[in-house]
């Protein structure tokens, strides 16, 4: 009883000491507070050294805090979570990780817990610390934990307040700026003030800046969308995080979102840091969204300042082109606007990779879709290639073109958006000297604006195609098939889902290797695609499974098509393989099922086909209402 009473008194003395310390101590940083706290605990415990290790979530390691150099001489400055987890014991020996000079039994260590998790360690060293009872050492650790957590909350509140106060100040600068470079500079400066240790890059979909000091990079698009976090952030509008544990760094990609679209991606690199704490991720999302809206405002303002007397035409055209129109619709719209504004007879948009060939974009006027235009287009392509600039010809009659043209006046402007698009906009009129030089300058502005829209449409449509296409077979993806089935089930009266599974496919891989296995999958996919044609939708279901959905076709005919496919695969593949097939037909007069029911029926039919000998077709019982 005497011992317990003595411990209780000592504990009350510690509590009083820590309370007085918390209310009187006001260092500049939380880290300094912890350092000063170790000095207080050292005096109270009469230890020769007192140190506290706290977990740094960013770096994934425990960091040493202690006043004076004595602790650093005998204790490790830090140790990682990996070091802790790599110990092959049920109870990790923290002494081995902390003790740098084999101090051994003179070290006393107690864990600091918060919400059931160790967030740090209290370390005492010296003759007096050895004599401290285990129970009282644990009590000291508990009081230190309470003290640290209370002060940590206080400093975190202060830090968050300062962070958002800084963001609030720069937000007004963002939205008052009419200069895009100014907005980008504000973004980077704000981030560097808040997190000075990190690296920042602005991945922009268009060339916004001429400031060489800004860390601006072009937003590139990987065809393998699954591995491109920056592309995913740009397309989905959602933050993406890559953890490179081997390199001990994390990368965050936050989309710069405005009201009308996404203008790029903020890339944050954390060298020597492993994880992004949730509160910091939220801050990056907030500043990226604020910056995206500011970029949008600055861009719109600059566009409105550029074109003076042509403002109405440019703005109306830009607004239309920046909508969610397909590329063909944009070309057709631009051709119409140019004909209307310049009273042109013909307007054509062509793209090319080499001067020897070109492609007329759908939506150009009728003349450019005829063979008569080829000689003129080749002449314009070569002329622009030589002079490296737009072409303005008052009278084509004097030019060395292969055959006589019905058009005399010509304006041609290159379309160039980095490596995304190479082409020309060509405008013609039957009369010589019809176009003015002012019209020529306006056309250049219009093409400059439209090229960005065209390039974005081309890229977006390529990306859309990549998203809905399986990279190996070039069939549709399962996700795309699922969506289409859902739509067909809602609106059609009947249909069939067919699943194909290559029999004994593992033997192919084991015997010939995975490359041959992939070739076999492609052979099967080509046969399915050829037989089905435009009657249905073919997709890769996963692994060696493929699928076809045939809408508005009787189940008997679906079975006949499946039989043709099964026979062709058995006869035409090399090395030869067979397939098992499961068909799930449905009709609205039986029951309008949902997609999951159809898939389940097809899957069960496929299982029966495989379990009953393979290389055969099983049709599931129709989905009907009970009773």
pLDDT single digits (tens) 562-596: 999 999 999 999 999 999 999 999 988 888 888 89
Residue among 375, 382, 376 at smallest CA distance from 354: 382
- Write the CA distances from 219 to 187, 202, 259, integer angstroms: 17, 8, 20
- What is the arrangement of strands in the sheet containing 422-429, beginning at the earlier edge strand? 359-360, 346-351, 422-429, 409-416, 391-393
> Mean pLDDT, to the nearest integer, of 429-439?
87
DSSP state of 418: T
In whole angstroms, what is the distance from residue 210 CA to residue 213 CA? 9
pLDDT value at 403 more than 80: no
CA distances 445 to 317, 318, 461, Å, are 11, 11, 24
Largest CA distance in the chain: 118
CA distances from 111 to 31, 106, 115, 132, 209 (A): 19, 17, 13, 15, 52
Angle value at C-alpha 181, between 180 and 184, nearest 5 degrees: 90
pLDDT of residue 512: 93
What's the pLDDT score for residue 174? 60
3-class SS of residue 490:
helix
Report, as an integer, the average pLDDT of 240-263.
80
- Of 462 and 53, which is predicted with more confidence? 53
pLDDT exceeds cutoff 70 at 626: no
Most confident residue range from 41-50, 360-369, 557-566: 557-566
Judged against a pLDDT cut of 70, whether residue 27 lies above it is answered with: no
pLDDT tier for residue 210 given thresholds of 50, 70 and 90: low
Residue of 40, 186, 296, 544 marked catalytic: 544
Angle separating helix axes 311-321 and 278-306, nearest 10 degrees: 140
pLDDT band at 627 (very low <50, low <70, confident <90, very high): very low
The mean-pLDDT minimum among 2-6, 81-85, 381-385, 426-430 falls in 2-6
Between vectors from CA 421 to CA 418 and to CA 422, what angle results, nearest 5°?
A: 95
493-539 pLDDT tens trace: 899 999 999 999 999 999 999 999 999 999 999 999 999 988 999 99
Q: Please report the pLDDT score of residue 209 as a whole number.
A: 53
pLDDT for position 3: 46
Higher pLDDT, 460 or 443: 443
- Token pair 């817990």 is found at 113
In this structure, of 41-45, 80-84, 104-108, 168-172, the range with the lowest mean pLDDT score is 168-172
DSSP state string for 427-471: EEESSTT-S-HHHHHHHHHHHHHHHHHHHHHHHHHHHHHHHTB-T
CA 446 to chain centroid: 31
pLDDT on residue 401: 76
The distance of Cα 253 from the centroid of its chain, to the nearest Å, equals 7
Q: What mean pLDDT comes out for the span 73-81?
A: 80
**Rg, the chain, Cα only:** 35
Cα(194)–Cα(182) distance, integer angstroms: 18
pLDDT of residue 223 exceeding 50: no
Structural element, H or E, at residue 256: strand 249-257
Average pLDDT in the chain: 80
Lowest mean pLDDT across 69-73, 354-358, 516-520: 69-73
Measure the N-to-C terminal CA separation of the chain; round to a whole number of Å: 79
Choose among 524, 605, 507, 515: nearest CA to 570: 524
> Which is more confidently placed, 152 or 212?
152
Question: Between 143 and 84, where is the model more confident?
Answer: 143
In the structure, how many helices (H) and strands (E) does the chain have? Answer: 19, 20
| 486 tagged catalytic | no
Place of tokens 């759908």: 362
Range in 17-31, 224-238, 514-528 the model is least confident about: 17-31
User: Cβ–Cβ contacts within 10 Å for residue 11, how many?
Assistant: 16
Q: Is the pLDDT at 263 greater than 90, yes or no?
A: no
More confident residue, 617 or 594: 617
Tell me whether the omega of the peptide bond preceding residue 601 falls within 30 degrees of 0, making it cis. Answer: no
Instruction: Please state the three-class secondary structure of 42-63 as a single string.
Output: HHHHCCCEEEEEEEECCCCEEE
Which range of 85-99, 357-371, 372-386, 525-539 scores highest in mean pLDDT? It is 525-539
* 335 contacts 349 by C-beta, under 8 angstroms: yes
Higher pLDDT, 30 or 466: 30
The band of 273, judged by pLDDT with boundaries at 50, 70 and 90, is: low
User: Could you tell me if 270 and 250 are in contact, meaning their C-beta atoms sit under 8 angstroms apart?
Assistant: yes
Cβ 67 vs Cβ 36: under 8 Å: yes
What are the DSSP E strand ranges found in 130-237? 199-204, 216-218
Q: What was the pLDDT predicted at 1?
A: 45
DSSP 219-234: ----SSGGG-HHHHHH
- Are 200 and 188 within 8 A, CB to CB? yes
Domains detected in the chain: 2-157 (3.30.450.40), 177-304 (3.30.450.40), 310-460 (3.30.450.40), 478-619 (3.30.70.270)
């Amino acid at each position: 009883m005497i011992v317990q009473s003595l411990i209780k008194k000592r504990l009350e003395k510690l509590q009083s000491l820590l309370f007085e310390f918390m209310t009187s101590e006001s260092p500049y940083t939380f880290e300094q507070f912890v350092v000063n706290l170790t000095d207080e605990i050292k005096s109270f415990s009469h230890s020769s050294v007192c140190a506290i290790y706290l977990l740094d979530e960013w770096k994934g390691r425990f960091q040493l805090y202690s006043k004076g150099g004595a602790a650093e001489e005998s204790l490790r400055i830090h140790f990682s979570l990996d070091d802790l987890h790599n110990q092959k014991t049920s109870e990790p020996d923290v002494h081995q990780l902390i003790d740098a000079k084999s101090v051994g039994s003179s070290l006393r260590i107690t864990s600091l817990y918060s919400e059931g998790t160790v967030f740090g360690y209290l370390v005492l060293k010296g003759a007096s610390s050895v004599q401290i009872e285990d129970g009282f050492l644990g009590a000291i650790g508990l009081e230190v934990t309470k003290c640290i957590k209370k002060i940590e909350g206080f400093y975190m509140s202060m830090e968050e307040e300062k962070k958002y106060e800084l963001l609030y100040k720069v937000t007004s600068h963002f939205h008052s700026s009419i200069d895009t470079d100014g907005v980008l500079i504000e973004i980077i400066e704000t981030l560097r003030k808040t997190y000075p240790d990190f690296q920042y890059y602005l991945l922009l979909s268009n060339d916004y800046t001429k400031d060489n000091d800004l860390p601006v990079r072009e937003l590139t698009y990987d065809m393998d969308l699954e591995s491109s976090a920056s592309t995913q952030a740009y397309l989905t509008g959602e933050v993406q995080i890559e953890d490179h544990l081997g390199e001990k760094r994390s990368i965050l990609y936050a989309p710069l979102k405005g009201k009308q679209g996404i203008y790029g991606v903020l890339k944050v690199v954390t060298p020597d840091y492993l994880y992004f704490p949730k509160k910091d991720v939220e801050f990056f999302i907030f500043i990226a969204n604020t910056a995206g809206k500011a970029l949008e405002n600055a861009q719109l303002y600059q566009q409105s300042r550029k074109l003076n007397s042509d403002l109405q035409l440019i703005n109306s055209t830009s607004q239309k082109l920046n909508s969610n129109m397909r590329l063909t619709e944009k070309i057709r719209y631009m051709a119409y606007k140019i004909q209307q504004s310049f009273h042109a007879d013909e307007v054509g948009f062509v793209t090319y990779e080499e001067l020897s060939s070109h492609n007329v974009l759908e939506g150009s006027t009728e003349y450019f879709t005829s063979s008569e235009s080829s000689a003129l287009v080749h002449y314009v392509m070569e002329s622009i290639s030589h002079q490296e600039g737009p072409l303005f010809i008052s009278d084509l009659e004097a030019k060395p073109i292969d055959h006589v043209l019905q058009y005399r006046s010509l304006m041609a402007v290159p379309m160039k958006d980095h490596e995304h698009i190479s082409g020309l906009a060509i405008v013609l009129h039957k009369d010589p000297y019809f176009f003015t030089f002012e019209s020529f300058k306006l056309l250049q502005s219009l093409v400059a604006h439209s090229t960005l829209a065209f390039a974005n449409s081309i890229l977006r449509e390529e990306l859309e195609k990549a998203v809905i296409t399986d990279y190996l077979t070039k069939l549709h993806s399962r996700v795309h098939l699922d969506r289409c089935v859902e739509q067909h089930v809602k609106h059609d009266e009947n249909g069939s889902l067919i699943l194909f599974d290559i029999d004994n496919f593992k033997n192919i891989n084991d015997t010939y290797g995975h490359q041959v296995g992939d070739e076999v999958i492609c052979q099967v996919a080509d046969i399915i695609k050829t037989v089905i044609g435009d009657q249905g939708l073919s997709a890769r279901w996963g692994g060696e499974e493929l699928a076809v959905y045939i809408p508005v076709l009787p189940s008997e005919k679906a079975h006949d098509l499946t039989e043709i496919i099964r026979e062709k695969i058995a006869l035409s593949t090399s090395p030869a393989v067979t397939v098992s097939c499961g068909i799930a037909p449905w009709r609205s007069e039986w029951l309008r099922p949902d997609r999951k029911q159809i898939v389940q029926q097809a899957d069960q039919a496929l299982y029966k086909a495989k379990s009953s000998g393979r290389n055969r077709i099983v049709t599931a019982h129709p989905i009907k209402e009970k009773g």
